[in-house]
Amino acid sequence: MKSKWGEEENETIDSIKNINYNGRILNVAAGDGRFNNLLLEKASEVVAIDLDEKDLDILVNNTPMGLRDKLKIEIVDITKKFPYTDDSFDGVFCTGSLHLFEKKEIIKILNEIKRVLKPKGKIVIDFATDIKRYDRNGNEVVFSGEGLYSMDEAINFLKEKLKCFSLDIVKSTFEEECSEDSTGYKFIKGNFIVLSGIKYRV
């Protein structure tokens, strides 16, 4: 699916397929639904959460009718405690968002992901690094409060905070032109990592 944030990367698609998601999946910061239809094809239910109601409306409109019965959307601020009980999801998916936060906020989000995920539950998380954004005039754009992580820094940090998972890590690069002014930039490039794994201990 085409998103205002860019195309679906093959590395993330492969990780979704390889982890063999099933059951109830939480899509954290789902946005306008990039990758969500692929999750719906594998899950018994996908709960897509985001703070942006307009993006969630787009997500629903981009969901094929045959998959909508398995979709639930909720407006949630992921920097606060998730409104779900412990061990309530078989899988958690999070793409294109964690890199926007400082480490203290990422730790809170990851702790909530771990809390709501069942033992032996599965995750796929992607994390952008070494980001450069530019506006239409070629001026660099930096978002206030974001971490601006290098690849090595991000890998070491995430491995430390996800020690309760057996992890596979894939490294890649990206370069995209954004289709909407609402993204705040016209062109973006950088690296990214995709982490997939299974929760094997608390």
Domains and CATH numbers, the chain: 10-125+142-173+193-199 (3.40.50.150)
- Please check the confidence at residue 111 and state whether its pLDDT lies above 80: yes
| pLDDT tens-digit series, residues 76-108 | 999 999 999 999 999 999 998 999 999 999 999
Per the CB < 8 A criterion, the answer to whether 156 and 103 are in contact is no
Q: Would you state the pLDDT for residue 66?
A: 95
Instruction: Read off the pTM.
Output: 0.89
More confident residue, 67 or 135: 67
Using N-to-C axis directions, what is the helix angle for 103-116 and 151-161, rounded to 10°? Answer: 40
Among the listed residues 21, 10, 3, the one whose alpha carbon sits nearest the alpha carbon of residue 196 = 21
- Structure confidence at residue 67 as a pLDDT band (50, 70, 90): very high
Task: Give the pLDDT confidence score for residue 2 in this predicted structure.
Answer: 55
The per-residue pLDDT for 175 is 86
Q: Residue 140: exposed, middle, or buried by beta-carbon count in 10 A (0-12, 13-18, 19+)?
A: exposed
- When pLDDT is cut at 50, 70 and 90, the band that residue 145 belongs to is confident
Spell out the residues 6+ positions from residue 160 whose beta carbon is closer than 8 angstroms to its own: none
User: Is pLDDT of 8 > 80?
Assistant: no
